[in-house]
Amino acid sequence: MSVIVVGLNHRTVPVALLERMAVPDTRIAKALHDLESRENLLEVAVLSTCNRTEIYAYCSRFHPAVGDIVEFLAEYSGAHPDEFNDHLYTYYDDAAISHLFSVAAGLDSMIVGEGEILGQVRSAWAAAEAEKVSATLLGQVFRHAVESGKRVRTETEIGRHPVSISSAAVAVASEHLGGLEGCRVLVIGAGEMGEGMTIAIANRGVADICVANRTIENAQTLATRVDGRVAPLTALAEELARADVVLASTGASEVLIERGAVEAIMLGRRDQRMLIVDVALPRDIDPGVGEIPGVTLLDIDDLKGYAQRSTERRRAEIGKAREILGAEIERYREQRAARMVAPIVTALHRRGESLRNSELDRHRQRLANLDEETLQLVESITRGIVNKLLHEPTVRVKDNAGTDRGDVLADALSTLFDLDAGTERSA
């Protein structure tokens, strides 16, 4: 049994392919059940963000399980495996666990230390639990990864001065325009990313903020925080005509703004330019919009320069964060080893107690003439003998848990005493 992760991220594929693989929130449940129904995947979780799409699984056989995930990605995206196989990364067991811990801490993000990924990891875990496709093992891995990510943010400067994709989008927009003072800003999407961009832009002296969202109540809650306005997605054309800056980040599965709509708007704007930053995956804005005169369209790929500069500033913190993760990964391994050994130890002592009781029952008639005090003495002596005999094997297998020797000892105990620890040990 193995824990594996198969994925693509901002470093391995261009944004056009990454968006084809993106799994929006509205399709997560279906994707989880599709994956879990495949022969070699016992537990699954899907982590899909603007930086990555990763499938985590607890599997019965490594290579067939990877094949199941590749098949799912091909069916889901409509891409032939040849289009993305060379871009995939695959890790298993300790490497897969280390990767998830690094992701949760923000060390594998395009912007090192970005604050949104921890919540996204937590959401991926919660979705898998809600759909009942992640049971004992993956739940434990994700729980510990989230705890480790929190610790990194608490104990390093990465946590004290967070940078996120949303704040980076605002910073890049500001760099392109030489500042945002007096700009009219349209934010499309009121989710976590949209909220981050709206809050980040509110203190930059903008003239107007409009939040457009499918659910108007969510837009109103966010707009109220920044003294902004709200608009339904059906009013996008009107709001685009007013906007100098557009920040898009919905979870829509289709393009919201087509090239033709923006061309029509720009014809009536004369010399008024428009800057659009689209950080949604799949993209909210037709890529062709970037070819329209007077329009600058930026996407995830355009944030990489800012990400590089941010990483340089945080370089000293990466080492500290990795030390913390190393200690947390070791703690997880120790806990996992203890969980694996516990059923063997329990079964061993259960077998000893069963044999003791069987022998007492066999001689129960001969013991019937003993007084109560003597019977209790017999009970105590026989129980003590069993415990002393099992004490050394128990200590040895616990002390060596998680090592090759520990596996040999555990298997030997199972064989010699004919133990049935059930499926607990593999978890």
Please identify every residue annotated as catalytic: 50
Residue 59 CA from chain centroid, whole number = 18
Q: Are 2 and 31 in contact (CB under 8 A)?
A: no
Question: What does the H/E/C string look like for 236-264?
Answer: HHHHHHHCCEEEECCCCCCCCECHHHHHH
Distance separating alpha carbons of residues 410 and 19, to the nearest angstrom: 46
Name the nearest CA neighbour of 139 among 56, 62, 64: 56
Q: Are 390 and 346 in contact (CB under 8 A)?
A: no
Tell me the DSSP string of 36-82. HTSTTEEEEEEEE-SSEEEEEEEESSHHHHHHHHHHHHHHHH---HH
Instruction: Please compute, for residue 71, the number of CA atoms within 13 A of its CA located in the half-sphere on the CB side.
Output: 14
Q: Is the dihedral of CA 368, 372, 375, 379 positive or negative?
A: positive
Distance separating alpha carbons of residues 125 and 139, to the nearest angstrom: 7
Q: Are 86 and 60 in contact (CB under 8 A)?
A: no
- Spatial neighbors of 144 by CB under 8 A, at least 6 apart, are 101, 328, 331, 332, 335
Strands 41-48 and 274-278: unpaired
> Which two tokens mark 364?
């129960």
Residue 98 CA from chain centroid, whole number = 12
Distance separating alpha carbons of residues 16 and 355, to the nearest angstrom: 66
Where b means 16+ CB within 10 Å and e means fewer, 393-417 reads bbeebbebbbeeebbebbeebbeeb
Angle formed at CA 279 by CA 199 and CA 121, multiple of 5 degrees: 80
